[in-house]
Amino acid sequence: MTGAALGVLAAGEWTDGRLYPGTGELLALGRSLDCGEVSVALLGDAPESVCREAVSLGADAVYTASHPLTGDGDADADVSAIAQICGQAKPRVLLFGKTAFGAEVGPRVAFRLGVGAAQDCVAVEAEDESGRVVVTRPVHGGNAMARLRFPDADPKVAIVRGKAYEPLAADGSRRGEIRRVELEPPVVRTRRVETVESRSAGVRLEDASVVVAGGRGLGGPSPFEQLEELAGLLGGAVGASRAVCDAGWLDHSYQIGLTGKTITPDLYITVGISGASQHMAGCSGARHTVAINKDADSNIFKAASFGAVGDWQDILPSFIETIRELVES
Ligand SMILES: Cc1cc2nc3c(=O)[nH]c(=O)nc-3n(C[C@H](O)[C@H](O)[C@H](O)COP(=O)(O)OP(=O)(O)OC[C@H]3O[C@@H](n4cnc5c(N)ncnc54)[C@H](O)[C@@H]3O)c2cc1C
């Protein structure tokens, strides 16, 4: 990108008239970098209330851009729109959330702009006055953290894990500018033939503050009804290990881990999960882990703050009853 780059642009997401919570997290991260204007790009016909919400959460400016194909899951159009907004905003740092949108559009925008992208970042920091940016990301299935420094070219594109940053408290008195960008029509090489809505009852696994997950130790699909019951009492979501999904007990949208979803709940309850490194890669950001497993040497206990060694059939029913009494009292 030519010209002096400054500031941070967050590729925002919104739905049903509200900002996606992860966009508030990106704005808080943008402010922490302290390198100039913090702006957000909102694709589709973002209503003014959504733009104002972004301002209240830390945006100095909101770039809105709309074309019949943008903001509606057409990645070619979204890549083109974000790249064009970058041409106008000239950010030093371009942030995406680690969502379906960010994971697909982020690296493609970076490629289009001729720069690199760092996936799955848990921290993004300004190293010094020179404007160098350093990211931290898990490597080797979450067993080690790597710190990577971007080369000098701008923008530095980082795709950031959900809940790695706390959004700022909304401040309705903040002022920000809304800038409408006229888009060049995108070159679209793919055509969406069908949209299939995935229906999940209750809270999404990636957003849940409580996750109750089961593994092969449950022995089959029916015990997951008890996990659903426990998750329901705690207002959480159910997840699973890959062994469960590979066995067809649950579909792969439940899978947590290296090749599944990354979760960052406050409380992660596992039942009959061994804690293989590929599983832990998706849940190492959990604040507290509670494990029920009959093998005291199981790897999951290394991550657990609390654990019960024994057969889940002896432990889980009384655990659920105790939680029910606590919740209902
Ligand atoms: C490239 C690659 C990517 C992978 N990606 C993922 C991923 O994204 N997510 C993932 O989860 N895995 C992933 N895996 C698989 C991973 O290595 C493990 O095989 C998997 O996580 C094991 O699942 P599990 O813990 O349910 O089963 P197991 O390892 O079989 O563990 C079952 C556990 O249940 C306990 N148990 C058995 N009976 C009972 C009982 N009655 N009461 C209480 N406890 C009991 C056992 O002690 C054991 O610890 C990946 C593997 C590879 C090679």
| pLDDT profile of the chain (329 residues), mean per 10 | 75 94 96 95 94 98 85 83 96 95 96 96 87 89 87 94 93 96 85 74 86 98 97 96 97 92 94 95 92 97 95 97 93
Alpha-carbon Rg of the chain, whole angstroms?
21
Q: How far is the CA of 163 from the centre of ligand 1 (A)?
A: 25
Q: How far is the CA of 241 from the centre of ligand 1 (A)?
A: 6
Instruction: Name the segment(s) of the chain with CATH classification 3.40.50.620.
Output: 8-181
169-173: long-range pairs with CB below 8 Å, 24+: 170/53, 170/56, 170/57, 171/56, 172/52, 172/56
**Entry pTM:** 0.80
Are the CB atoms for 148 and 118 separated by under 8 Å?
yes
Are the CB atoms for 167 and 21 separated by under 8 Å?
yes
User: Ligand 1 atom 27: the closest Cα is on which residue?
Assistant: 216
Distance CA 38, CA 63 (A): 11
Spatial CB neighbours of 193, under 8 Å, sequence gap ≥ 6: none
Spatial CB neighbours of 16, under 8 Å, sequence gap ≥ 6: none
Distance CA 36, CA 71 (A): 27
The residues lining ligand 1, judged by C-beta closer than 6 Å to any ligand atom, are 215-217, 241-244, 255-260, 272-274, 276, 278-279, 282, 292-295, 298, 311-312
Atom of ligand 1 nearest to the CA of 272: 34
> The tokens 């309850």 sit on which residue?
269
Distances (CA, A) of 5 to 17, 94, 150: 31, 11, 14
Question: Residue 271: in which H helix or E strand, if any?
Answer: strand 267-271
pLDDT of 163 reads 85
User: Ligand 1 atom 14: the closest Cα is on which residue?
Assistant: 278
Query: β-pairing, 38-43 with 8-11?
Result: parallel
Atom of ligand 1 nearest to the CA of 215: 26
Atom of ligand 1 nearest to the CA of 258: 8
Report DSSP state, residue 278. H
Q: Which two tokens stand for residue 16?
A: 């049903």
User: Ligand 1 atom 2: the closest Cα is on which residue?
Assistant: 278
In the sheet that holds 8-11, the strands lie side by side as 117-121, 156-160, 93-97, 8-11, 38-43, 61-65, 177-181
Judged by DSSP in three states, 245 sits in helix
Atom of ligand 1 nearest to the CA of 259: 8
Q: How far is the CA of 39 from the centre of ligand 1 (A)?
A: 42
Q: How far is the CA of 211 from the centre of ligand 1 (A)?
A: 17
Q: Which two tokens stand for residue 105?
A: 């559009």
Handedness of CA 77, 81, 83, 87 (dihedral sign): positive
Instruction: Name the segment(s) of the chain with CATH classification 3.40.50.1220.
Output: 205-328
Type of residue at 65: A
Q: How far is the CA of 234 from the centre of ligand 1 (A)?
A: 24
Taking CA 169 as the corner, what is the angle to CA 168 and CA 175, rounded to the nearest 5 degrees?
85
pLDDT of 2 reads 45
Architecture of domain 205-328: 3-Layer(aba) Sandwich (3.40)
- Count, in order, helices (H) and strands (E) of the chain: 9, 17
Distance CA 57, CA 3 (A): 28
pLDDT of 315 reads 97
Distance CA 158, CA 327 (A): 40
Distance CA 30, CA 95 (A): 8
Q: Name the E strands within 71-155.
A: 93-97, 117-121, 123-126, 133-139, 144-149
Q: How far is the CA of 131 from the centre of ligand 1 (A)?
A: 43
Are the CB atoms for 62 and 2 separated by under 8 Å?
no
CATH 3.40.50.2300 matches 8-181? no
